[in-house]
Amino acid sequence: MRIISQIGDWFDQRLQLAAPIREVAEHPVPRNTASWFYVFGSAALTVFLLQLVTGILLALIYVPSASEAWSSLQVLNHEVTLGWFIRALHGWGSNFMVAIVLIHMVQVFLFGAYKFPRELTWIVGVFLLLMTLGMAFSGQVLRFDQDAYWGLGIGASIASRVPIAGPVIVKLMLGGPIIAGATLSRFFALHVFVIPGMLIGFVCLHVLMVLKLGINEWPMPGRLVKRATYASEYHELTKKAGAPFVPYAIWKDLFFAAFILLAVAACALYFGPFGPTGRPDPTIIQTVPKPDYFFLWLYALLSLLPPSMETPALLIGPVLVIVGLLLLPFLSGEGEKSWRRRPIAVLTVLLIAITLGTFTHLAGFTPWSPHMSA
Amino acid sequence: MLNENKISRRGLFMKLGIFFNGLVATALAVPVVRFLMSSITRGRAGAYLSWVPLGRVGEFPEGETRLATFRNPYVMPTDGKTVDTACWVRRVEGDQFQIFAVNCAHLGCPVRWFPQSGLFMCPCHGGAYYRDGSRASGPPERGLFEYPHKIENGLVTIQAGELFTPGPSAALTGKNPPCA
C-alpha cells in the first residue's frame, strides 16, 4: 500500500490535480438535488462516452468510400467477431442519446434551471442539442445504404430551397454535382472529426459551468429568482445546508448511468444493428426511404404541410425554434422556477410532445402514400 | 514608471507579431477557402453537364414509359454505384420524347411509374404526377424535372450531370425553372 501512495504522491507533485479533483468531488450541493430527476445530464455524458468508444471501434473496420462503405458494414455485421454488436451499440446509443438529451432539456426547462445565473449553460446546451442532431443525421449518412442515399437527396432538396444561395449550398453539401463519393467523405469528416471535436469542447464548457455555478436547486413554488439575491440564497442552500456531491448525490447518477448502458446493451443484443438496407445504387428505385426514428416526425410533417407553406416552414421554422430556445433565458431569466406555477411552460412541453408523438405515429403507416414494396 | 501613452518596445513587438500572424493567416485562408469551394467553382457555367446516350429510339416503345439508366458524366474513382443514375423515358410518338428525373420534385425521393393508373407516385410524402410529368397531387409544387434531350443518329441523348433539386425558383414562382 505504501508504494502505491508513494507513486500517487510522485504523480501529484507533478500534475497537482488531486486537490482540484477533490474540491470538485466534494463541492456542496443543495440536499434535495440528490434526486432521480437530476440524473439525465450525466446519463447523456455517459452515452456520449459510449458513442466515442464504439465509434472508434467501428472506424477500425469501416471504409468511408462510396464504393466500399456498404460492403464494410456487411463485413462488420457478418464477418468480424461481434462487429454486429458494436454496430448495434453505436446505433442504439445514438437513439438513446437523442432521447436522453431531449429528456434532460425538458427537465431543465420545467425546473427553471435555465434562469439566472445559468443562461449561458442553457445556450451551450442548445448548441449541444443541435450537434447531437447533427451527429444523428450524419451517422445515418455513414450507414451508406438506400435510406442514407435518398435521405441525402431530401437534405439537398431542403437546402436547395434557400433563396439565392440554394444551389451553391447543395453543391457544398454534396461535394459535387450529385450524391457520390465526395458526399460520403465529407459527412465522414463531419461525423468523425468536426462535430465530435466541437461536442467535446462544448460538453467541457457545459460541465464546467455546472460546477462553477452549482447545480440548480430544487424549485420550490413561490421561491422566486432575483438577480440581486440569488447568489446569497444559493450560498445558503449549499454552504450551510448542503451536502457533498460525492457521495451524497453521485450514487444516483452512477446507478442511472449503469442502467442506461445496460438498456443500450440490451436493445443492441435483442434488436441488433440498424441495417444497412439495400445497396446505395440509385438505379434501384424500388425503395421506400425512411429516416431514423428521431426524424420521423419531420418526415410526416413534410407530407402533411400544404405545398405553399412548405418552403417557409422548412427555412423559417428551424430558425424561429433555435432563436426562441436561445432567447428563452433572456425572456424569463428571473421569477418562478417551479413547474407547478408555470402552466404555460407545462402546456408548451405537452403540446410539443403530443405534436411530435402524433407525427411520429403517422410516419409509421404513411396514410398519404399507397403501399409500395421496397 | 511606464508612461501609459507610450508603447513599450516589447508591446510594439507583440503587436507586430499579432499583425504578422494575421497576415500569414489571411494568406493561408485563400487556398483553404478555394479548396472548400472547389465543388462549386468546378461546376461553374455548366461544367458538370454533358450529353449522355440512353439507348436507341427503337428500345422505347411508343406510348410507353420505361426506366432507363446512365452513368453520370462526372465520375470520381471512389464513387462506386452512386454515379449510376435512373430516369423515366416516355416516348409519346415517333421522335417525341419526355425524359424525367426519377427524383420527386418535392424532396428528391425516387418516383415510380404505375402504368395501370397512369401516374408517377412517390413513396415518401405522397407526391403524384400525370403521365406527362405534370403535378397531379401531394406536396410537390411543380411537375417532374425533365432532362433536355435530343435524338442523334437514332440515339436518345440527354443532358445530365447534376442532381435535380426543387430550388428556390420552383418554390417561389411555382413554375418550372429551366433545366440545368
Quickly list DSSP for B61-122.
-TT-EEEEEEE-SS--TT-GGGGEEEEEEEEEETTEEEEEESB-TTT-PBPEEETTTTEEE-
Inter-chain CB proximity B165 and A150 less than 8 Å = no
CATH number of the domain to which B98 belongs: 2.102.10.10
Residue among A111, A88, A112 at smallest CA distance from A275: A88
Give the H/E segment covering residue B51. strand B50-56
Residue A293 near residue A361 (C-beta atoms within 8 A) = no
Burial class (CB in 10 A: 0-12, 13-18, 19+), A266: exposed
Q: How far is B35 from chain A (nearest CA, A)?
A: 11
**Residue B27 and residue B113 share a domain:** no
Q: How far is A89 from chain B (nearest CA, A)?
A: 28
- Give the mutation candidate from A283, A308, A362 for the B interface (greatest B CB count, under 10 A): A283
Q: How far is B1 from chain A (nearest CA, A)?
A: 37
Quickly list DSSP for B117-148.
TTEEE-TTT--EEETTS-EEESS-SS---B--
3-state SS track over A60-97: CCCCCCCCCHHHHHHHHHHCCCCHHHHHHHHHHHHHHH
Retrieve residue A1's grid coordinates. Answer: 500500500
From the list B36, B112, B168, the residue facing A285 with the nearest CB is: B112
Q: What per-residue string of b and e applies to A168-183 under the rule 16 or more CB within 10 Å gives b?
A: bbbbbbbbbbbbbbbb
Contact residues on chain B for A181, CB-CB shorter than 8 A: 76-80, 82
**Residue B21 and residue B68 share a domain:** no
Q: Is the dihedral of CA A260, A262, A266, A268 positive or negative?
A: positive
Look at residue B43 in the predicted model and tell me its pLDDT: 81
Q: How far is B84 from chain A (nearest CA, A)?
A: 6
Given a cut of 90, whether residue A370 has pLDDT beyond it is no
How many other C-beta atoms lie within 10 A of the C-beta of residue A144? 32
Residue B131 lies in a domain: yes
Length of chain B (residues): 180
Angle of CA points A69, A74, A76, to nearest 5°: 95
Who contacts A271 (Cβ-Cβ below 8 Å, separation ≥6)? A88, A92
Mapping DSSP to helix (H, G, I), strand (E, B) and coil, where does residue A340 land? Answer: helix
Residue B2 lies in a domain: no
Query: pLDDT by residue (tens digit) across A3-30?
Result: 999 999 999 999 999 999 999 999 999 9
Query: pLDDT by residue (tens digit) across A265-279?
Result: 999 999 999 989 999
**Residue B57 and residue B79 share a domain:** yes
Q: How far is B51 from chain A (nearest CA, A)?
A: 15
Given a cut of 50, whether residue B172 has pLDDT beyond it is no
**Residue B132 and residue B106 share a domain:** yes
Residue B95 lies in a domain: yes
Number of domains in chain B: 2
User: Which segments of chain A does DSSP mark as H helices, in order?
Assistant: 2-15, 18-25, 40-59, 69-78, 83-110, 119-142, 146-160, 166-174, 181-189, 195-213, 230-235, 245-248, 250-271, 296-304, 307-331, 343-365
Inter-chain CB proximity B108 and A150 less than 8 Å = yes
Hey, what amino acid is at A65? S
Distance CA(A87)–CA(A63), nearest Å, equals 14
Bridge partners of B97?
Answer: B91
Residue B177 lies in a domain: no
Query: pLDDT by residue (tens digit) across B119-170?
Result: 999 999 999 999 999 999 999 999 999 999 999 999 999 999 999 998 754 4
**Residue B111 and residue B30 share a domain:** no
Query: pLDDT by residue (tens digit) across A318-344?
Result: 999 999 999 999 999 999 999 999 999
Residue B140 lies in a domain: yes
- Give the mutation candidate from B109, B135, B164 for the A interface (greatest A CB count, under 10 A): B109
Retrieve residue B134's grid coordinates. Answer: 405534370
- Chains A, B: CB contacts within 8 A come to 176
Contact residues on chain B for A159, CB-CB shorter than 8 A: 165
Inter-chain CB proximity A310 and B72 less than 8 Å = no
- Give the mutation candidate from A161, A190, A302 for the B interface (greatest B CB count, under 10 A): A161
Q: For residue B113, give its domain range.
A: 48-170
**Residue B84 and residue B28 share a domain:** no
Hey, what amino acid is at A17? L
Inter-chain CB proximity A282 and B122 less than 8 Å = no
From the list B40, B77, B111, the residue facing A172 with the nearest CB is: B40
**Residue B52 and residue B25 share a domain:** no
ipTM of the complex: 0.88
Residue A274 near residue A143 (C-beta atoms within 8 A) = yes
Query: pLDDT by residue (tens digit) across A281-293?
Result: 999 998 888 888 8
Contact residues on chain A for B69, CB-CB shorter than 8 A: 283
Residue B17 lies in a domain: yes
Look at residue B2 in the predicted model and tell me its pLDDT: 53
* DSSP character at residue A137: H
